[in-house]
Amino acid sequence: GLPVVSAVTEASLSASRNGISYRIPVSRATLAVFDVNGNVIFKKEVGRQGVIVQEWDALSAGSYIIGIRADGKFLAKISANKR
pLDDT over 80 (residue 6) = no
Give the C-alpha separation, 1 to 34, whole Å.
45
Please, what is the average pLDDT of the chain?
91
DSSP one-letter string for 47-74: -SEEEE-HHHHHSPSEEEEEEEEETTEE
Render pLDDT for 28-56 as a digit per residue (tens, 0 to 9): 999 999 999 999 999 999 999 999 999 99
pLDDT-derived band at 21 (thresholds 50, 70, 90) equals very high
Give the C-alpha separation, 62 to 47, whole Å.
26
The reply to whether the predicted model has a pTM over 0.95 is no
